[in-house]
Amino acid sequence: MSSNATEARHGKAEGLDTREPAEILRLLAAGQQQAAKAVDDAIPAIAQAADIVASTLRSGGKLVYAGAGSSGLMAMADALELPGTYGIPREQIVLLLAGGISSLTDMEGAPEDDVALAEKDAAVIGSGDCVIAVSASGSTPYACAVADIAHRRGTRIVAMANNAGAELFKRADVAILLETPPEVVAGSTRMGAGTAQKMAFNMLSTLAAVKLGHVHDGHMVNLRPDNDKLRARAARMVAEIAGIDMDEAGILMGSAQGSVKVAVLLAAGAPGTEVAKALLARSGEVLRVALSELQANKSSMKRA
């Protein structure tokens, strides 16, 4: 695939504007589906990136997303979900978007070329952080400048791009190459390239959350239940994991001050919230390990 595949013309796009609507939509759908397959080849790199992200967050460092345009939007979608979904402290998640959040109303292109803006925005980056820099082309000046600054500060860098040999990869500790085919609408990387980026971000952050102990049997056990829907979801998780009814799960969630992990340990026999919290602290916040220790302790007491 050529180095500028994100700008290349799709082989089946000739006469696109003259075709029947259903035919156009089938071609667009096929383009998205083909782009999604590009993620498969990137799985080893995504796994390496998740290790870096998890270790950074575990040690108290910040996870810094940096991007512009459509790629920046994919980064933002992932970044904004992590505190609520996995309970990661908001102060550990930073979004550097070319032009800032205010640029989202009109998505002007000029900020992505603004290296001075990147230098200003990158002031927040420290040596103990991890930067995920994303650019479909892999050459967006804003994203590349943030990565260069991070590299000079000794920061770990994950780079994500859709073109092989991307400039963005030169400073990366891990390079996530998503070699998507040319867009049906040439250069419209919010389409296939964006789809692959969204998938890769979802996979990366979810695996990092698993490594941090925030997922148990497919449940997001470190979520922040701050509305009625999420409080009900949290109670259902406790009920399913602990094998109790919803009423009891709701009561335990109250005792646990909204912590699913603590509520599950209480249901499993932990004598109080402080004991449950201590079990989690010793387990590295991994519920399965904490449950195993609790059961081992109970067995020892019975034998005694």
Which candidate in 7, 81, 119, 293 is catalytic?
Answer: 81
Phi, psi of 94 (to 5 degrees): -125, 135
CA distance 174 to 190: 23
Residue 135 backbone dihedrals phi, psi, to 5 degrees:
-160, 130
Catalytic residue among 112, 167, 183, 285: 112
| DSSP track, 97-143 | ETT-GGGGGT--SGGGG-HHHHHHHGGG--TT-EEEEEESSS--HHH
Tell me which residue of 58, 53, 63 sits closest to 284, measured CA to CA.
Answer: 58
Annotated active-site residue 240? The verdict is no
> Active site includes 81?
yes
Residues 36/199, Cβ–Cβ less than 8 Å: yes
Residue 114 half-sphere exposure, CB side, CA atoms within 13 Å? 19
User: CA 223, CA 212: separation in Å to the nearest integer?
Assistant: 13
Distances from the Cα of 2 to the Cα of 32, 162, 293, angstroms: 19, 11, 54
Rounded to an integer, what distance in angstroms lies between the CA atom of residue 149 and that of residue 15? 45
The Cα–Cα gap between 60 and 55 comes to 9
Query: Which positions are catalytic?
Result: 81, 112
